Structure 1
Amino acid sequence: MPIVTFHKNGQTYRDEVAPKSNLVVRAGIKAYPYPHLQYQCGMGKCATCATRVLSGAEHLPPPNWKEKKQLGERLDQGWRLTCQLWIEHDIELQQD
């Protein structure tokens, strides 16, 4: 089971999620242990769910066209759209 470590507002939240979980989908159905995840559309259109990947990025697929369009140069700084990620390995995220 992948472990997600999530940093927000000076707090750290850590819990397991089922393999191939999408954090925004799980938050939308209230089955996600991190109530402070900021998200909105869940479709890669608004970038509200943008998070910086602190560790585990090597296990993620390359950014898709939605992430490239929404994040641009921030991709080079480790930012990804959480709604576009399906978690299969441990990951550490930070959202401002």
Structure 2
Amino acid sequence: MPIITFHKGGQVYRDEVKDNTNLVVRAGIKQFPYPHLRYECGMGKCSKCACRVLAGAQHLPPPNWKEKKQLGERLDAGYRLACQLWVQHDIELAQDETAAA
């Protein structure tokens, strides 16, 4: 089962999740990493859940059209939308304290 390492506000949160887990779905049902993950719509329209991938990016699928539209050049800096990712391998993410536009 994948291990999620999540950095936010100088803290590190770590948890094991079931294969093919979406972190925004888990946050919405009050499971890890709730309440630490910032998110809103869960559909790739708002980019509130944008996270920088620190490790494990090689196991993610290429960005979809929603991520390309919302993140633009931030994709090159390693950002992805957590709501669009279904985690199947270990991953390490960081979320800025304030939403990057």
TM over 0.5: yes
- Say whether residues 1:23 and 2:23 are aligned partners: yes
**Using the alignment, how far apart are the partners of 1:33 and 1:47 within structure 2?**
17
Which blocks of at least 5 consecutive residues in structure 2 are unaligned?
A: 97-101
**Any idea what the Cα deviations from partners look like across 1:2-61, whole Å, max 9, x if unmatched?**
000000000000010000000000110112244210000000000000000000000000
Mapping for residues 1-96 of structure 1, pairs under 5 Å: 1-96=1-96
**Using the alignment, how far apart are the partners of 1:14 and 1:34 within structure 2?**
12
The count of residues paired between Structure 1 and Structure 2 equals 96
Which blocks of at least 5 consecutive residues in structure 1 are unaligned?
A: none
Question: Which letter does structure 2 place at the counterpart of 1:38?
Answer: R
DSSP 3-state at the match of 1:32: coil
TM-score scaled by length of structure 1: 0.97
Where in structure 1 do 4 or more consecutive aligned residues deviate above 2 Å?
31-35
Task: Report the identity percentage.
Answer: 77
C-alpha RMSD over aligned residues: 0.8
**Using the alignment, how far apart are the partners of 1:44 and 1:33 within structure 2?**
19
Contact 2:3-2:91 at 8 Å conserved across structures: yes
TM-score scaled by length of structure 2: 0.93
**Using the alignment, how far apart are the partners of 2:87 and 2:22 within structure 1?**
6
DSSP 3-state at the match of 1:13: strand
DSSP 3-state at the match of 1:76: helix
